[in-house]
Amino acid sequence: MSLVKRLWIAVGLIASAAFLVAVGINMVSAKRYLENEIKIKNLDTATALAMTVSQTATDATTVELLLSSQFDLGHYQRIEYLAPDGHLLASRERSFRPSTVPAWFGSLVPISPEPAEAIIQSGWKQLGSIRLQSDPSFAYDSLWQSARTLMQLYVGGVVVIGLLGMLFIRSIIKPLMRVVDQAEALAERRFIEVKPPRTLEFRLIVQAMNRLTQKIKNLLDDESARLHKLKSDYEYDPLTGFMVRDAFSRNAATEMEREDTHEQGLLMLVQIGNLEELNREIGRVQTDRLIQQLALQLKQALAEHGRVLLGRLSSADLGFLVPGDTDDTHLVRQCLEHIQQVEDGHMLKLRFGVAHYGPHSTLSDILLRCDQSLAPVSGEGQLPTMPVSSVPSSRSASDWNDILDAALRKHEFQLALFPVRGRDGEQIHTQALARIHSSVCGEILVAGAFLPWARRQGQVGLLDLEVIAQALKTVQQSGQDVCINLGFESVCDARQVQRIAELCQQLPGDAQHLCFDIPEEIVFQHEAEFQRFCVRMLPLGCKIGVKHLDAHLGHLGRLSSLGLRYLKVSRSLVLNIEREASAQIMLRGLCTIAHTLGMQVIAEGVTDQADAELLFKLGFDGVSDRVIA
């Protein structure tokens, strides 16, 4: 039984007991008062009647006639005429039948006033005596009316006090419900803090739980910071802050193979042609300072291009992978403009190389083509002449507009389904990747091909709604969890989130089998919008997780209060894991943190069975056998 019900029962019992006691006292007092008043009335009436009879009656017969007449005219229950020796000479009696008072009330509160007696005499001769008892009906009526009035006041008071009590109890229970919510969140491994209520007992509980939550958060933050440092030492060059060659190669290969990213882009190499000469002439320290400034300026030049992978491929080579349809000439010009701001930058003899990649390119191929295209900067600030190998776009903006419009109008979206398996081979969920079976071009288009154009035309939100509708149909057919990808437009736009929620509310049972993969950039760089998305979708039963986890490995503590279900670790972190001892330590720590937060850990793009078995030993809960979008 709930505390609220117990409180209401206690209040009801106390109020009822108080009412019964009050009514009992009132009824007893009123009964005694009425009995006393009737007794006085009986005595007065009997005395007056005896005096009247004494003055007019001369014998017993006359007295009896007068009493009968008086009985018929008055309100008496009984009148008796007694002889001087006490025996009954005549009696008149009326049955007591109160008209408006229930019989049970009369039995519960009996009114029994004492009868009055007066002597009848003629001169000095005693003719007898009169014993009289008035009709108590009016007393019962008065007592019944009083009881009814008390009951009406009680009911009215109960209604008013009940409403006020409801508000009061709610004000008491509300902090308790926050305590319950916090306890349930802790049970679900969501570490939230609650504002302490004013009620002393509740405040002590909340403060203790808040301290526990804060300690756990601090532990998670410390462990996340340790992982971040381990990852930085393992993957990044301390001088430039760029990825080392192995890390750059893994991340670049993963980026090129993903279906949800641009299917084309470019790789740019910047080579310091006179590095050994600089080391001899100005020394290692000054050379490192020049390289550090060069890296900083190149990073600033590439900042506007969104997700760019920066790598130090060797002591003299810097590499940059820029996904998307990028103008290489404009990119190189931007880099040169920033390089001119490097102090003593004229001492650097730089060579630039650029190579474009397409849907089926490999990293080794574009690295080779990029190296072959290296050309020196001819003169200060002048663009080098580079034999750029471009990947021309096969479709114009108008073509893409026709393709996307037809796909939305004719519902040409389909889902390619791939299982995500657990350590025992069980299916955790099904990964669904969007495809367009275009009637315009007659091809099957993957997300990496059409998403950039849909984003330019502002149609990503409509595409996501179509994909969600297809996913719900798949759930209806399979009855299993289906996972789809959502981007910035669907997570950070409040109106789009509402549309998604309304679509899920139409099929509440199926929506509980829907999983949303959210890229780590959105999760950690748009925290307020992502939290709003979680608050709206989690109550519908949907599951939410982070995909492509890599760069923000050290910020896992910020997920402690969101209630996420899983983390999908980027392929770049698990590729060739059997050869990387430092990566194994890092991933083991990642699994510990994620499990503390109640989240499963899934590795993306695991194609080798040996890697999968090792990942399970490190604590992973599942793997996907392809590079999931």
Residue 437: phi and psi, rounded to 5, are -90, 85
Q: So what's the pLDDT on residue 19? A: 79
Q: In this structure, are 443 and 590 located in the same domain? A: yes
Task: Provide the angle, in degrees to the nearest 10, between the axes of the packed helices 447-456 and 460-478.
Answer: 140
Give 391-414 as a 3 state SS string.
CCCCCCHHHHHHHHHHHHHHCCEE
Q: In this structure, are 282 and 355 located in the same domain? A: yes
Q: What's the mean pLDDT in 503-532?
A: 94
Domain hosting 63: range is 3-159
Q: Give me the CATH number covering residue 352.
A: 3.30.70.270
Query: Residue 190: which residues within 8 A CB-CB, separation 6 or more?
Result: 560, 561, 562, 563, 597, 598
Q: How confident is the model at residue 628 (pLDDT cuts 50, 70, 90)?
A: very low
Q: So what's the pLDDT on residue 603? A: 95
Task: Provide the angle, in degrees to the nearest 10, between the axes of the packed helices 363-372 and 245-257.
Answer: 120
pLDDT tens, residue by residue, 387-401 = 544 455 567 778 888
The neighbour count for residue 141, using CB atoms within 10 Å, is 14
Closest CA to 357 of 383, 319, 400: 319
Q: So what's the pLDDT on residue 513? A: 95
Residue 151: pLDDT above 50? yes
pLDDT tens, residue by residue, 121-141 = 766 777 778 888 877 777 788
Q: In this structure, are 359 and 438 located in the same domain? A: no
Domain membership of residue 174 (yes or no) is: no
pLDDT tens, residue by residue, 75-89 = 777 888 787 887 887
Number of domains composing the chain: 3
Q: How confident is the model at residue 537 (pLDDT cuts 50, 70, 90)?
A: very high
Q: How confident is the model at residue 627 (pLDDT cuts 50, 70, 90)?
A: very low
Q: In this structure, are 324 and 429 located in the same domain? A: no
CB 143 within 8 A of CB 34: yes
Domain membership of residue 89 (yes or no) is: yes
Q: In this structure, are 294 and 355 located in the same domain? A: yes
Q: In this structure, are 78 and 39 located in the same domain? A: yes
Q: In this structure, are 607 and 576 located in the same domain? A: yes
Residue 452: pLDDT above 70? yes
Q: In this structure, are 361 and 451 located in the same domain? A: no
Residue 523: pLDDT above 90? yes
Among 349-358, 382-391, 581-590, name the one with the lowest average pLDDT: 382-391
Q: What's the mean pLDDT in 260-272?
A: 83
Residue 112: pLDDT above 80? no
Taking the whole predicted model, whether its pTM rises above 0.85 is answered as no
Q: What's the mean pLDDT in 403-428?
A: 91
With b meaning 16 or more CB within 10 Å and e meaning fewer, what string describes 415-438?
beeebbbbbeeeebbbbbbbbbeb
Q: In this structure, are 363 and 426 located in the same domain? A: no
Higher per-residue pLDDT: 552 or 174: 552
